[in-house]
Amino acid sequence: MIFTIFMLIIFYITSETETSIIASFLPKESQGWKMSGKPRTYPDTSIYDYMNGAGEIYLAYDFKNLVVQRYVKKNSPEIIVEVFDMGVPEFAYGVFSHTQGGGNNTNIGQGSEYSAGLLYFWKERYFVCVRAEYETKESKNAVLTLGESIATKIKAEGEKPHLLNFLPYEALVENSIRYFFRHEILNYHYFVADKNILLLNNSTRAILARYKNNRDYLLLVQYPTETDACSARDNFVKIYMPEASDSGIVQMENGKWTAVSALKNYVIIIFDAVQRDYAQKKIESLTRNILQ
């Protein structure tokens, strides 16, 4: 009992400390917009109180805490800053990768985009959104300045996931890269199946990326062990492409090709390849990258 109380106190102090750290990133004003009220915090599933179902995205990346701060200026749209503590840099990158592709790069933080009043970027273990109620020339400047200021106050940088190093970069659509570990996120970007047939879980890591020209998709999943990878491959083949259990490659109903391979503790899948040879070469390219 005493131990439990002790741990709760430690947890509370830690949470408050982390919230204070995030609050220290927030400037008091930007371009005439001033802080309004105190920052509000939403740890864990209390994020639903703030953003309902949309909170699932962040929970799918093991989100820890959200700090929200409003900025106001007379006769101007309100600006809201949301700082998500994702726990580790790879999940901050993951959330950013989930969202990217909708705006223009602004070179803020370690990866950023801006569109229609919304700026989002990641740096170290934080994912940050700065959004204006509606966009004006002044609010855009204020949003970008706020973002830059916050990014500057986050001193450290985080490493990108090492899985990215395996991707073939020729013809890659870089802002199509998605990094995740839950099948809901895979289905969000490329619906595979209503059940988790690739056996994704908290111990797996995955990248989905699209390629130009042929518009095919590459999915690379890392499993804890080689046995896990083989089980996932076999399950995928059994449900998705049972007719290709030996070859690992099949032409789909839309005329495009899907190919799958398991190598060490990785599974590689090519979706929507226009030609069989292309799919096989892509698998070989990724295989070489993994074996190097």
Q: Which residues bind another protein (CB under 8 A)?
A: 45, 48, 51-57, 99, 102-103, 115-118, 120, 129, 131, 134-135, 183-184, 187-189, 191-195, 197, 239-241, 252-254
Least Å distance between CB 118 and another protein? 5
As a whole number of angstroms, the distance between CA 122 and CA 95 comes to: 8
Q: How far is the CB of 10 from another protein (least distance, A)?
A: 28
Nearer to another protein by Cβ, of 25 and 127: the residue is: 127
Residue 288 C-beta: closest distance to another protein, Å: 28
* 153 versus 215: smaller Cβ distance to another protein: 215
Strand 126-132 relative to strand 178-180: parallel, antiparallel, unpaired? unpaired
- For another protein, give the closer residue by CB, 47 or 151: 47
Please report how close the Cβ of residue 55 comes to another protein at its closest, in angstroms.
8
Helix, strand or coil, per DSSP, at residue 284: helix
Are 208 and 238 contacting, i.e. CB atoms less than 8 angstroms apart? Answer: no
Which three-class secondary structure state does DSSP give residue 41? strand
How far, in Å, CA of 166 to CA of 156, rounded? Answer: 25
- 57 vs 270, beta carbon nearer another protein: 57
Strand partners, 259: 249, 270
Minimum distance between the CB of residue 48 and another protein, rounded to whole angstroms? 5
Pairwise CA distance, residues 214 & 165, whole Å: 22
Residue 52 vs 75, nearer CB to another protein: 52
Nearest distance from C-beta of residue 3 to another protein, angstroms: 31
Q: What is the distance between the alpha carbons of residues 221 and 262, in angstroms, rounded to a whole number?
A: 9
- Which lies closer to another protein via its Cβ, residue 140 or residue 276? 140
Q: Could you identify the residue written with the tokens 């083949």? A: 237
Calpha distance 284→12 (Å, rounded): 50
Q: How far apart are the first and last CA of the chain?
A: 53
